[in-house]
Structure 1
């Protein structure tokens, strides 16, 4: 059998007689057109082939316009044939096999021409031979299919009515329907994906080639985003393999609005409208289909509302925020999932799970500085519902406060240190720790003192100098801050006289008669009292003389006293402090020993000298020797030599 190739230039135009003599005996010629048009001629069979005696004609009766078709001419009386004509042209070669059979190779030609055999006995027309043009294919529908084959491929072109075979690369398929401009064929299976040339072999020759792609079954590894509105229009990015030749995409059974493959691994799809809930994503390619169950979720639009209670609130007061998420009518159903609360004060957002479409959280504002605060609630959506956002404002006011003040010790003594503690607390429902300062007024006319709050308390120390205006009204005034209002607290402080002690000291001690003695009284405060007492000290000297008084200055009172004699020595000296508003009375004593003062005696006689018989006056003068003072009394005894002393 003479074979053809895909390259038309390689087809033989004619066969010489030697080729025919070797090729024809016993050969089987086949012509395949449409189903039912298969013709078989056993060229080696003769009268021993049933029915052959009655055959006459040209087999095959059509071939390429370029010639070279091997045909069998059946008739009678062919022995000695000298020529075979196809129209006006001689056969390229022919051979008489027997009296009834000639094989010939067609010359080039066109159209339908008579076939004439010339023998010595004359010429006779045996039949007609039709010249056919090369087949041409212009389109494959589809141009791709699964590796396993089995899909019907339409070949559109021209000169296809005598198609014998359709080649898919190295695989061969037989047409199932034939017309001049169309072939239908079932694609054969191949070993793996790839692109192969498709061409047609007809009686007229071999067609041009068109590419046909054997595609692998697609796979999907990711779909983003996974949800979108029921109105459609969501752009999906689908990743996977085998996506370069997608032929259809459905979402929930509805064709996608559009789709486009950017590579074998990337497909972009625009979703059609749908109903709330998960929808299967089905992607079809020539290689097959892949279904992503629930690969996309249609979501109905939602509305999120947020409310707060109480509103307004105070600093530190717990506020309850409630978010309600509903579907936008006519959507039905109850959204699920989570909402996130942003309180607008810089604190961390708080998520909460919806129950029956509602979620509540509590929050405490620590300052009103940003009031009104914008509260935002963001619903994250679920498979059936889209995300949405709701807002509200929360007014936060400064919390009221109460200020209390306590003193310790109470009562206290004059000069004693008193600790005053002011405590500032929010008035419920306000909460938190107030900051700022507290100013203390001690009620005694002394300057006020300001102290900072720490942990809600401020502490100062104060000593009351006297108890003159006891009890004293103590006031603690809290200044307030941005978060808490000002407030004032009061208390009373009882101040009592401090005990005093009086000590007496003498100088010099002992002394002598007539010597001045300095008497000093030192008045001190007995702890826990403090301060320096003032007032009057009364001195008594124990010698019968009158008392003396002296003011206390810097805690000391001083007088001077002269003892004129020693009778009664040692003398008891007492100092009595009379007290004042701040300090109680007290007294102290001491003893003073008074010794006799040393004297000096001077004797003077006059006249001196004297004569015998003169009256001589002798005078003795006795004086006190310092530090003694005064005039000595008593007697002086005069002794004259040779005479008896006389007082």
Structure 2
């Protein structure tokens, strides 16, 4: 089968020829000629059956590339364009110097750098990492002295820029901290010194350590396992440092002396303090076969979370020094909690009030539920829990407590809607108080207090969920009447929850103070606190009247037998004093 050409890279080059190209395809073994149009390529190398490298011959325009082999010539349409490509120009190297061992990244800045085929540091090719029209990054090869860096593209070879190879000073190490550690390794060692940049290896004797951090003056590394005293060295491009001694220490086995507590619930989850010696670096705490979670660890004490278990089991501690002696730990079956009272047993739908739950076996409560809703636990003793009730709709819900021993019996808790006051009757009364007032609204059944402004009423009697009565306290002015229940205190809403305190009415003068026994005379009454007058009587006989102001009323004297009678007014605050009015014979 004739050769097959699938691609060429690059796809364009200088008309003068000489552009290095890579041709990809198949059937290249034994190829005898590579042509760019009619012209033979030079420097042809058959890399494999699928790849050829060559340099382009001189040419112009766009030409087809063909490969001729023992079975014929390729026929695919793979083209190469001869174009005038500007030669690359270099303007900067960063950095412009580096270690003689090479390996550092150098950024080359310039123009016309697209399609770079080679970067040379003197005679030595560098590895190209990235290539854009204005920048190339490359890995510097090893070298010495000052050399020229050039870039080759299809447009030619660039101007040179100087690059200096610097002899890297050998590293020196002055201290190890710590200078000893466990035979199991794994501890962090800080190595201080100079010329430590670019450390490639840290050895503890013949064994490499894991390098964690590296600065010019400090390395941190994880010590490998080892025994005895060994030399630590650091290797950089500048060579290998002086050695410093590091001693592997046999760690003594841990010993445990007490567990506190030495028993706990079968569900685990409680914190156990383990006291002893040589406990540093504990890797495991076992309760029988089950690992515990280690919380804190010092040379003489460990705190751990006990796992679930049953019966009596052994607790052991494992460190790099081995496994400790065992101490007994007993799993105790925790009795289920029982709750006997809630105080209070009702509260507002908004929640937020504190409820005290009394009972037994309440230690270690993990949850308090009001119906399906968790409450916030504030305090917890074996016989009492205080919790913040969550919000809930008006309803009766079950309160339960969960501990390691299970879930308690339920107790009922009532969510009470806030009371609403829509009216009071009467709306007026004497400032001395003492009169009965009927209060209407909703959610009043559990009323525990009624206030007239800041003053508490007495004689509270609940008639229904919509009505109650109370005895007004002394007061002045107009006040808001509020009702308090487990659902909260009523707030201003629809209706008229106001009550006005009135002074007792007073009559100062009657003008005239005489009239015909036939009645019909207009009598002007001067006095005080007359605004809410609801009746005027002449000797007990009602008169028609009108109130003109708080100090003035006008009444029409009713018919009456001749003689002198008392005139009196009445308001919600009570009866006024009486003044005499004389009826003359008709």
Q: What's the TM-score bracket when you normalise by the shorter of the two chains?
A: 0.3 to 0.5
TM norm structure 1? 0.39
TM norm structure 2? 0.43
User: Which is richer in strand?
Assistant: 2
